[in-house]
Amino acid sequence: MDRIFPFSSLPPELQLDVFECMDRATLHSTVQVNQRWHNLSACMLWSYPSARRVAALTLIQPLERRQYYASKIRVLRIREPKHCSAFNGLVFSSLRDLGLSSDIREPGSRFSIQAGSYSYFQAKLQAISVEHCIMHQNALSQIKSHCASITKIELCHAVRQFDDDVFAEFIQSLPCLRDFTLGNESTTTTIDSLFKITADTLAPRIERLCLPCLTGSVEPEGFRKFMASCKSLNISASTTQKRADIKDYCLGNYWRMFCTSTL
C-alpha cells in the first residue's frame, strides 16, 4: 500500500524539486501561502531575473529586501553598465552563472571590469561570460582568489588590459575549469602562449575548447597536448589549409570537432 507523506515532511531538496516544476503564474500564488512556501517560490522566481527588473526594484525596496532577493539569484545577465549601481552592497550568495556584455553601438557603454568594482565574484560562481567589455588585470586576481569553483569561462571580443602570459597563468590557476572560450580575435601569439604555459596543467583537465576567431596557425605539439583529454573543439578556421593543419594535429583523439570557414 502506498504511503502518503505530508509535503512539510519532505527533505528541503525534494521540496525545492517540486517547486521547480511549477510555472511562474503558480509560483506567484504559492509565494503567498506561508513563509516556507514563500522562500521556495522566491528561489524560483528570482533565480534568473532580468537586470532591468532588479534595477527597478532598488527604487521601491529597502536594502534589506533587495539583499533577500539578491541571495536567490543563480543566473545574472547584465547588458547595460547603468544597471550595475542597483547591485551595490549586495551579496549574491547563490550566484552560479554571470554574464557581462556591452552594446558597442553606444559610445561609452563598455563595462570596465576591475577588482572591487563588482560583488558578483563569489565562491559559488561556476561560469563567467564577458563580451565587449574592458577587463583589467586586477579583476583576474579577484576571480582567482574568490571563485575557485569556476568551471566555464567565455571571453569574447573583450579589451584585455593584460599580457598574454598573465592571462595564460590566470587560466592555469583555475583548478575546476573544464570549458573555455576565447573569441577575442585569438591570434597565434595568444594561443601559443596559452598552450606553452598551461599544456602540462590545464590540458589534462579541459573538456571543451572554443576558438571562434582564431587567426594564424598554432604550434602543433602544444596543440596535441592540449587536446589529449578534450572532448569538444570549436574552431572557426579562415582557410582550407588551416583546417587541414588542425585535423593533422588532432588525429587519434576521441572528441567532436566543429570546424567552419569564415570565407
Q: What is the pLDDT of residues 11-52, one digit of tens each?
A: 877 887 878 888 777 888 888 888 888 888 888 888 888 777
Do 26 and 138 belong to one domain?
Answer: no
Model pLDDT, residue 181: 87
Residue 82: pLDDT band (50, 70, 90) is: low
Give me the domain span that covers residue 37. Answer: 8-45
Residue whose grid cell is 539578491: 70
Do 64 and 29 belong to one domain?
Answer: no
Q: What is the pLDDT of residues 247-263, one digit of tens each?
A: 555 544 433 444 443 43
Question: What is the radius of gyration, based on Cα positions, of the chain?
Answer: 22
Do 207 and 142 belong to one domain?
Answer: yes
Do 173 and 204 belong to one domain?
Answer: yes
- Count how many domains the chain has: 2
Q: Does residue 3 sit within a domain?
A: no
Model pLDDT, residue 132: 83
Q: Does residue 123 sit within a domain?
A: yes
CATH number at residue 143: 3.80.10.10
Residue whose grid cell is 513563509: 35
Question: Which three cell numbers, joined as nine digits, stand for 222?
Answer: 602544444
Cα separation, 195 vs 222, in Å, equals 5
Determine if the pTM surpasses 0.85: no
CATH number at residue 21: 1.20.1280
Q: Does residue 225 sit within a domain?
A: yes
Do 134 and 21 belong to one domain?
Answer: no
Distance of CA 14 to the CA centre of its chain: 27
